[in-house]
Amino acid sequence: MHTKEEITFDHKTIQQIGHYVYALLDEKRLPFYIGKGQGNRVFDHVNCRLDESVDSAKYGTINELKQSDTGVEHIIIRHGLTEKEAFEVEAALIDLERFRDKKLTNIQSGHRSLENGLMTANEIRNKYNAQPLSELKHPVVIININKTYKRGSGAKGIYEATRGNWVIAESRTKTIQYALSEYRGLVVEVFKIQAWSEVHQKKKDGKTQIRRCFTAIVAEDSVRKLYINKSIKDAKKRGQSNPIRYTLA
């Protein structure tokens, strides 16, 4: 079903389909947005009933398609769901598409994605067998990379996601020896920092903010084994706010 003009479900259809999960498709019939809803939620994006300022990437794609010969195609992936089931199906599809490196325009990850979302078999094993990290034996910075690590990019991806750019005081850089990469509550790598550099970043108000990044190598085995694959308490909360931490308190 293409969308050159406003379209809706009729009342009888709405009564029958319940909660559903949908996708918006581009000219190649590939999903660029996955969502869930009831009623005519699937059509609201194209019919401009949602706040377009929320997601410029999504609406930019929609506007391009509306001006093309193909338009936006809507598909309903599952219907007749409870709200809870719709949350889970939507989250699973978003996780899978992002793991396949598909360029979805969704801003948010799926429901409970960090806790129960897509993981490799090794990540699942580590998650449920990890010992808690109870002590820091070195001057370290713990960096949560939930938002900066690109799934499937391996060791190099972990390094790039960890090294910066971060708001860290210069005085801190003089004492920190190691960086612990924390992903989904687990320490996935330990780096021995070699040097720090400044990055001058302009803010929206025109002022310049100094951020810092480091170059490093993987820590020596005697240090690495103290921290690798250990779990860190309250990782979820920190992953959603300040990604930097210096203590376990």
Residues 6+ apart with CB under 8 A from 184: 114, 119, 123, 127, 146, 235, 239
Q: Pairing state of beta strands 19-25 and 31-37?
A: antiparallel
The per-residue pLDDT of the chain, averaged, comes to 85
Most confident among 5-9, 68-72, 232-236 (mean pLDDT): 68-72
No. of helices (H) and no. of strands (E), the chain: 10, 8
89 close to 81: Cβ distance less than 8 angstroms: yes
pLDDT tens digits along 84-123: 999 999 989 988 887 777 677 776 656 555 566 677 777 7
212 close to 196: Cβ distance less than 8 angstroms: yes
Percent of the chain with pLDDT over 90: 51
pLDDT tens digits along 19-58: 999 999 999 999 999 999 999 999 998 887 555 555 568 8
Domain boundaries, the chain: 11-116, 121-245
Predicted pLDDT at 119 = 72
Q: State in Å, rounded, how far the first CA of the chain is from the last one.
A: 55
Nearest to 74 by CA among 64, 84, 56, 62: 62
- Count how many Cα atoms sit within 13 Å of the Cα of residue 82 in the half-sphere of its side chain: 3
| Cα 57 from Cα 49, distance rounded (Å) | 16
Predicted pLDDT at 236 = 47
Q: Which two tokens stand for residue 203?
A: 């803010």
Q: What is the pTM of this model?
A: 0.59
Q: Does domain 11-116 have CATH number 3.30.470?
A: no
